Amino acid sequence: MLSMIAPVGALLLSVAFLLMGNGLQSTLLPVRAEIETFSTLSIGVMGSAYYIGFALGCIFCPYVVRAVGHIRAFTAMVAVAATVALLHILFLSPAVWWPLRGLTGFCFAGLYLVIESWLNDRATNETRGTIFGLYTFINLTVITVGQFMITLYDPAAFPLFALASILVSLAAVPVALTRAQAPAPIAAVRLRPRRLYGLSPVGVFGCGVVGLANGAFWSLGPLYATGEGLDLASLATFMGLTVLGGALAQWPFGRLSDRRDRRQVIALACGLAVLAGLALAILGGLWTRAIFPLTVLFGAFAFPLYALCVAHANDMMAKDEFVEASSGLLLANGVGSAIGPVLASGAMSVVGPSGLFLYTAAIHAGMLAFVLHRIGRRAPAPPEERGSFVAVPEYSPAVMTLDPRSDETPADPSPEPPTNPGP
């Protein structure tokens, strides 16, 4: 086991620092924005700005890395992301925070891109599954650790912003000092959204809808928690339990989807996510303690949907289309994540904190209706043509190349430029 991890240990350490810093910022900024009396809509726009920047980063950062190399691109983006974390505390204005969050999203897309492509280059057929599993485990744990760091200091003061900047800065150290050879240049992937939708309507539509719901939760979940009267420690617990629920449910939903029509399992998860969202919206304001078990259930039903939709889409693809398909699905998810926080903030402005989960319930109900419609229109993929479920981390721009389902070799360093799919 250690011999498998040793070649990528420094990279995984960088991942841990990055995700801790990002996890802390994702909780800290909405809380501080509320302290500064930003409107709910302003906080929603701030969340959308991050995902717009992230989507743009997924498209353009491969060109940056190919122009200057992995290490230079990584250190430059770390420097910018760490600086931006501090700029928030110097300019307490929504109009400044919006572009700052967009710049953060752009930088993190590039940072994940470098790390994930580097991990893929170091992985072999024998170690790929182990490395992918460890990477996914880190994704599901250190983000939670970062969220709990909000309890270390007063969010109305400077130290938490400094801590977020420090964590992001530390991510550059393992990469800068690694003796491992940099990987081959990142290949740009051609995107054909119409063709992808024609092959897997549920996969594309589902990934977009998951973005609408999960992007809203990540951007406005802390606002819901404080609005329902939770203190900082309880807020961190609320966010952490949601992630934990999603982590625990990945395997059972995945195993079930390997044995049945995946669309049926997607429909089941959507229906249960509707119920969990309604329960949080109704009971959260009446019985605060009910929020914690209910948010575990919400995470358990809502968070596995992205990996289920990716698995369903890949059932419809040829093996040599795997990376292109995953890139298109990530783009659909990013577009949804950019729109979701604004829509959810509108619901919260009208209804109050419960509007967040009334919104997610409506989104999941719409997805349920679409999936049931598609089940009646197309027969499921034959079992012999279906792959295995893999718990794919959401918002990871290059992780599809590390996914054990991908058997592609590194691409030519001068590929065809990607088409800009637009919204």
Query: In the listed set 133, 150, 183, which residue is the last one of a domain according to the structure?
Result: 183
Same structural domain for residues 262 and 380? yes
Structure tokens at 263: 């669309």
Closest to 321 (Cα-Cα) out of 191, 222, 225, 215 = 191
Whether 421 shows a pLDDT value over 60: the answer reads no
Contact 401, 118 (CB under 8 A): no
pLDDT band of 395, cuts 50, 70, 90: low
Burial 240-253 (b: 16+ CB within 10 A, else e): bbbbbbbbebbeeb
Closest to 406 (Cα-Cα) out of 107, 187, 179, 105 = 187
Same structural domain for residues 27 and 139? yes
The CATH number of whichever domain residue 91 belongs to comes to 1.20.1250.20
Which has more pLDDT, 273 or 407? 273
Whether 114 shows a pLDDT value over 90: the answer reads no
Contact 311, 406 (CB under 8 A): no
Q: What does the pLDDT read at residue 399?
A: 56
Is residue 8 one of the residues assigned to a domain?
A: yes
What does 138-197 look like in DSSP terms, one character per residue?
Answer: HHHHHHHHHHHGGGSS-TTSSHHHHHHHHHHHHTHHHHHH--SPP-PPPPP----HHHHH
The share of the chain scoring above pLDDT 90, in percent, equals 49
User: Residues 257-290: pLDDT tens digits?
Assistant: 888 888 999 999 999 999 999 999 998 878 888 9
Same structural domain for residues 12 and 134? yes
CA 11 to CA 5: how far, in whole Å?
10
Residue 229, domain extent: 189-395
Count of domains forming the chain = 2
| Mean pLDDT, all residues of the chain | 84
CA 128 to CA 404: how far, in whole Å?
6
